[in-house]
A and B are shown apart, each in its own frame.
Chain A
Amino acid sequence: MKNLRYLKVLTIVFALMVSACGEKDKKEKTDPVTPAATVKKAAPEIEETAYPEGKKLYGQYCATCHQRNGSGVPNLNPPLRNTDYVTGNTSRLIRIILKGSDEGLEVDGQTYANTMPAHDFLDDTQVAELLAYIRTAFGNTAGPVTAEEVRTVRHEILK
């Protein structure tokens, strides 16, 4: 009795696999040059944001390196998605924006070769808007940053 059931399983698995092969053959025969793995992808909608000014600043000063979607560039520029630096301690984050960094920060176990330039030419309100944006964009859910905090860190750096 039991054996019959196993035989059934065997037959079904085998039949499924053979028919899957057939599918593959058919597809490859009719379409020999089109890369099978190519998927046409529409431009992803960049999500709504409560910080449109921050989003604009991001597009202007950060997106080339960190990419529109915050994914970064493998080995070159780190991602801004759910990294400790973005969602964690705000003073440390403000410091990176104002001073830049080229020491090879470890971000999720990886280091990145490019330079993060200083953005101290942005005023306190702009930095606050920008950081509030990246802390809520790209799937991040951290709280906002105030202009007062930015002013405090800027003073510390100048000291």
Chain B
Amino acid sequence: MKKQFSSSWWYIPVVTAFTLGTLSCSDKEDKKNDNGDIIPDKNNAALTLPEGFGALIVADSVGEARHLAVNKNGDVLVKLNKPKDGKGILILSDKDGDGKAESKTGFGNYGGTGITLKGNYLYASSNTSVFRYALDENELPENTNTPDTIVHGLIDRRQHNSKSITLDDNNNLYVNIGAYSNACQERDRTKDSPGMYPCTILDSAGGIWKFRANAMKQSYGEGARYATGLRNVVGLDWNKEDNTLYVMQHGRDNLHDLFPDLYDAQASADLPAETLYKIEEGDDAGWPYIYYDQNQGKKILSPEYGGDGQKEPEEGKGKNAIDPLVAFPAHMAPNGLLFYTGSMFPEKYKNGAFVAFHGSWNRAPEEQEGFMVAFVPFKGGKPAGEWEVFAKGFAGVDPVLSPGDAKHRPCGLAQGPDGSLYVSDDAGGTIYRIVYNGK
């Protein structure tokens, strides 16, 4: 033992060589260029992007990064699905201006999804509550141990329990409460179990609830159901251009498993659409009575409620449901929605919608799809063209046969003060920053 120790000084030259080698390898160029632009990683963080765009990794392996927000100083605040070392919210700071976070601190010993900045406050959600933290002069939360409880006691039955949040400009807070069910069957996802009518889950879930952003300890009694018939919304955003709420719904699963005579495995992999809705107060998107078939371009009565894959909505069963603005392919799991208001990206992107797709799991035996960020151009509050893939390559494998194989899964989106687009990943825990350097 002793002998080994005394001779272990030979590590020194090896370590020195290693350090020198590493230094000579380090991406010295990953700094601002002469224009002060952030320089992307050489391989664009392994992403494929449109011409002129680049990407860099701000931080990686931070934990299951759900949604995120970027403050005026460029600090990135990340909500973790589960706390890591007792910290459910991370603060990532770039001290030297190269776009990479050198400092990582955290607080808030609870898991969850929602996080957003508004005025002088940070708002973050657990799976039952929404908390508020006042910001200090550095734009960072000051009362990290004693946040205000704005909302509490929301239903969490594990399935679809993310409480995503967004605020309008009038001190209103919008919270998604996902349905703890696939299609409101008496026994969830169980073959031959009938659909409940009416669907009582809608009393406390399956919609968007509205609360005051500055009142304490609200629950169902103090809030209002703002929109219903939404199975599960994880991505939502308040559009400042037309002062309206927009949401991305996760469509239902298991059509073939539950109704093999009506839907073959292929149909089940392709149906129904993942849908973007513009939401006015009181809207009903029709779940569980209907789903949207993007191939037929219309709403279809759910098989649990007498549908056969062709029948249209009936009175009291989704007849008055709103239509989606955009219908995406099935099961891709839209977890983040962001209307881009920055001026870094080209004109085409202004006021358009970015959607982070987490990637599918229930398309077996087909390949899984998604694992990318899409873009929908908007003009005057309406889609102004087809949706397109904006950033892909997150999964790191192609094809993805099972979602567990994906190295990274896009989940949240945020815009930085300079107009950069940030993407969080809750599989590998990577925080990406996408910039435009084309001129």
**Which A residues have a C-beta under 8 Å from some C-beta of B?**
6-7, 9-11, 13-14, 16-18, 20-21, 24, 28, 32-41, 43-44, 59-61, 63-65, 67-69, 71-77, 79, 100, 102, 104, 111-115, 117-119, 121
Contact = CB atoms under 8 A, between A and B. Distances in A.
A14 B21 contact: yes
Interface string B259-280: 0100000001000000000000
Nearest to B406: A74
Contacts of A111: 158
B319 interface: no
A64 B191 contact: no
B144 interface: no
- Which secondary structure dominates chain A's binding surface? loop
Interface in B386-425: 393, 396-399, 401-405, 407
A32 B14 CA distance: 33
A15 B190 CA distance: 62
A17 B190 contact: no
A29 B202 CA distance: 55
B417 to A, nearest CB: 28
A71 B17 contact: no
Contact of B397 (A41, A113, A121): A41
Given A67-B402, A71-B402, A13 B25 contact: no
A75 to B, nearest CB: 7
B24 A21 contact: yes
A64 B254 contact: yes
A41 B397 CA distance: 7
A102 B188 CA distance: 9
Contacts of B47: 35
Interface in B139-166: 157-161
B257 to A, nearest CB: 6
A102 B182 CA distance: 13
Contacts of A10: 13-14, 16-17
28 contacts: A6-B14, A10-B17, A13-B14, A13-B17, A17-B21, A17-B22, A18-B21, A20-B21, A21-B25, A24-B25, A36-B43, A37-B407, A38-B46, A38-B398, A39-B396, A39-B398, A43-B399, A60-B257, A64-B268, A67-B361, A68-B365, A68-B401, A73-B403, A74-B403, A100-B190, A115-B159, A115-B181, A115-B189
Given A38-B396, A68-B401, 10 more contacts: A17-B20, A17-B24, A33-B48, A39-B397, A71-B405, A74-B404, A100-B190, A117-B187, A117-B188, A119-B191
A157 B296 CA distance: 44
Instruction: Sort A-B residue pairs by CB-CB distance and give the 7 closest, nearest first.
Output: A17-B21, A35-B393, A35-B46, A37-B396, A13-B17, A117-B190, A73-B361
A37 B46 contact: yes
Interface string B329-348: 00000000000000000000
Contacts of B365: 59, 63, 68
B81 interface: yes
B24 A38 contact: no
B258 to A, nearest CB: 9
Contacts of A21: 21, 24-25
A4 B189 CA distance: 71
B364 interface: yes
Given A61-B257, A63-B364, A75 B25 contact: no
Q: Among A17, A68, A121, which residue has the most Cβ atoms of chain B within 10 A?
A: A17
A39 B400 CA distance: 10
A32 B44 contact: yes
A74 B427 contact: yes
Contacts, number: 147
B18 A17 contact: yes
B396 A35 contact: yes
Q: Which of A16, A65, A73, A117 has the largest number of chain B CB atoms within 10 A?
A: A117
Nearest to A22: B25
A122 B273 CA distance: 31
Nearest to B181: A115
Contacts of B253: 64
Contacts of A119: 191
A17 B13 contact: no
B362 interface: yes
B2 to A, nearest CB: 18
B5 interface: no
B260 A115 contact: no
A28 B165 CA distance: 40
Contacts of B46: 35-38
A13 B191 contact: no
A24 to B, nearest CB: 7
A43 B161 contact: no
A33 B191 contact: no
B95 interface: no
Nearest to B402: A67
Contacts of A41: 397-399, 401
